[in-house]
Amino acid sequence: MRLPGPRSFAPRVALLVGVVVLVTSFLGAGWGWLRAQEALRRQLDLVLAADAEGLLRDYETYGLRGLADAAAVYARRGGPLRVLLLAPNGHPIAGRLPGAPARLRGFATLSPQEGESRLRALGAILPDGSNLIVATDLALVDRAATALAWTPPIAGGLAALLALVLGFLVARRLERRLAGISTAARAVMAGDLARRLPESGTGDEFDRLADTINAMLARIEALVAEVRQVTDDVAHDLRSPLSRLRQRLEAALARPRAAEADAAMLEGAVAELDQILATFAALLRIARTEAGAGREGFVPVDLSALVEGVAEVYGPVAEEAGRALRAEVAPGQAIPGSAALLRQAVANLLDNALGHGGGTVHVVLRPGPVLSVADEGPGVPPEERGRVLRRFYRLDRSRNTPGTGLGLALVAAVARLHGGQVTLGEGPGGRGLGVTLDLRGEAASSAPALPGAAPGS
């Protein structure tokens, strides 16, 4: 067993609890001890008062003479009750009481010479001026008090010891659990992101805390994995064009200078660089959008006008490619948002439908607002739909068409920024790709989304 260090939690808590319990139980027992003494003395006073009452009755019946006789009897008997009768001038008439005052009215505690025990006395002045004093030994009470005086330290000590042991055990248990959490946290810190905090299974506060932290760790692990994935993607997708550019320049350097060929080569190089820069810009924009940048600049955006405007720009592009673009826009659809990002999202969807899809492009904005852009091309196989929303994901057949592979990733990021979501499905008649941009806000996105059962359709 490991010896707890000086900075250890358990012994310190045990000690603290021990001291607190010691002091409180000592004070408690001490108070009880004082109260007990007080009660004993009051009991004694009652007995004295009763005795005095008896003697006074004698006085009323037999007069001073009778009282003196009674006092003498008490003195002779040498019982615990002592009686002293003093004449009005202070001379003793009967009885003996060492250390008695010359005159006493009411209760008093008398301390005679050393070696003798203290006395509790009660004095009464009789109608003729004589003074009757009854007293009793306090030795009994004193002995009881002395015996009881051990109670506070014994009670305090025992309680403190018990508290010390219990406190140590409980604190030790806490310490062990914290040590488990600490070890796991350290492992996570060292790079083991899959490590989770131990749980005892009792569902107590520690388990709930560990549960929360574990959920946080799972989220961090997912985010880090995503960042790693993106970094890999970036490295991969930028390495290819950069190496192509390098080869092109190298080849040009190696051959003799020729104005026309050089110009063509340089033009190609600039185009290649522009493509790389466009990829960078798109990545930056997605990253910023995903970080939620720009949300504070949200203004009411007339989505109907925005979609109509973009469709108007793309209509001729479709026609030029021998295709058609049909827009069906519900009027007056507005949401708070970023017009620039929404415009780009809509444009990306149309770019995508025109660049990678086929046939007529259908743009429909339904009240909600829910925007869907569908084409009649080859579509995207269901198992690939989740992936095309990721950065740089491109279907094999799209490898040679222009584009950064970031278009739909940005659409997804813009949707999330606006509290909406993107789903991929088929176009009308089960052909082509249909992308739905649901912008009904937080309420819609938190509702359970059943595939194929989109409400409001």
Give residues in contact with another protein (CB under 8 A).
267, 270, 274, 277-278, 281-282, 284-285, 288, 293-294, 297, 309, 312-314, 316-317, 320, 338-341, 343-344, 347-348, 350-351, 354-355, 402-404, 407
Q: Which is nearer to another protein, 177 or 323 (CB)?
A: 323
Q: Which is nearer to another protein, 403 or 434 (CB)?
A: 403
Check residue 99 and give left, alpha or beta (phi > 0: left; psi -120 to 50: alpha).
Answer: left
Question: Shortest distance, CB of residue 269 to another protein, whole angstroms?
Answer: 12
Tokens of 383: 């198992």
For strands 361-366 and 325-329, give the pairing.
Answer: parallel
Question: Shortest distance, CB of residue 389 to another protein, whole angstroms?
Answer: 17
**CA–CA separation, 346 and 358 (whole Å):** 17
CA dihedral defined by 273, 413, 224, 446, rounded to 10 degrees? -170
Q: Which is nearer to another protein, 227 or 266 (CB)?
A: 266
Question: Shortest distance, CB of residue 321 to another protein, whole angstroms?
Answer: 8
Q: Which is nearer to another protein, 13 or 374 (CB)?
A: 374
Check residue 332 and give left, alpha or beta (phi > 0: left; psi -120 to 50: alpha).
Answer: left
Tokens of 240: 């290819």
Question: Shortest distance, CB of residue 431 to another protein, whole angstroms?
Answer: 21
How many other C-beta atoms are found inside a 10 Å radius of the C-beta of residue 144?
13
Q: Which is nearer to another protein, 141 or 417 (CB)?
A: 417
Q: Which is nearer to another protein, 189 or 271 (CB)?
A: 271
Q: Which is nearer to another protein, 180 or 359 (CB)?
A: 359
Q: Which is nearer to another protein, 107 or 298 (CB)?
A: 298
The answer, yes or no, to whether the previous bond of 369 is cis (omega within 30 of 0) is yes
Question: Shortest distance, CB of residue 348 to another protein, whole angstroms?
Answer: 8
Question: Shortest distance, CB of residue 382 to another protein, whole angstroms?
Answer: 25
Question: Shortest distance, CB of residue 441 to another protein, whole angstroms?
Answer: 21
Question: Shortest distance, CB of residue 395 to another protein, whole angstroms?
Answer: 15
